[in-house]
Amino acid sequence: MSEVTDILTEEFEVLKLELIAKYDELGMRSSGKWADGLEVVVSENKASIKGYEYTQQLETGRAPGKQPPSEAIEQWIKDKGIASRIEGKISISSLAFLIARKIGREGWKRQEHGGVDLINQVVTPERIQKILDRISDIYVVNFTNDLINVLQAA
């Protein structure tokens, strides 16, 4: 691995941990599947954090339109401990369908359920600049060393 790749790996692993900490701080955890699914992917001079498709909904909510899958909401009902509170009143599948239908009609506003800007609170311009500064220092040193070697050879 190159020095740049090492720095990117280190910085993006820290970003991942910070995202998970903010996720927990905002009270967004139910199953933990989202946090467990985050993956840092680093190749030469490139890095990213991959996660589940619903990450955007965690960040901004969901616009009205297509109804989400009831199965995912059923799992959420179980993970949040709601199932034990509704026992004998309504089935989990019925409640999940009603929630999915309402989300499909009205959308889901993230700010009403634990906050907004999960990612934007962690991945800030200042944080990105810090990573760029660390990487650019390596390029400056390497360029300077290469220039010195060329001048000494001349």
Query: Where do the structural domains in the chain lie, given as residue ranges?
Result: 1-60+110-145, 62-108
> Can you give the pLDDT at residue 80?
82
> Can you give the pLDDT at residue 41?
94
Question: Is pTM, for the whole model, over 0.85?
Answer: no
Percent of the chain exceeding pLDDT 70 equals 86
Token pair 């060329």: residue: 150
Query: What six digits make up the tokens of 14?
Result: 């820290």
> Can you give the pLDDT at residue 87?
83
Name every residue whose Cβ is closer than 8 Å to that of residue 51 and which is 6 or more positions away in sequence.
Answer: 34, 37, 38, 39
Q: Report d(CA 145, CA 154) in Å as an integer.
A: 14
> Can you give the pLDDT at residue 116?
65
Least confident range of 16-20, 74-78, 94-98, 140-144: 140-144
pLDDT, tens digit, 9 for 90 and up, residues 73-106: 898 888 888 888 888 889 999 999 999 999 999 9
Mean pLDDT of the 100-116 span: 77
> Can you give the pLDDT at residue 142?
65
Query: What six digits make up the tokens of 102?
Result: 């309402």
> Can you give the pLDDT at residue 26?
81
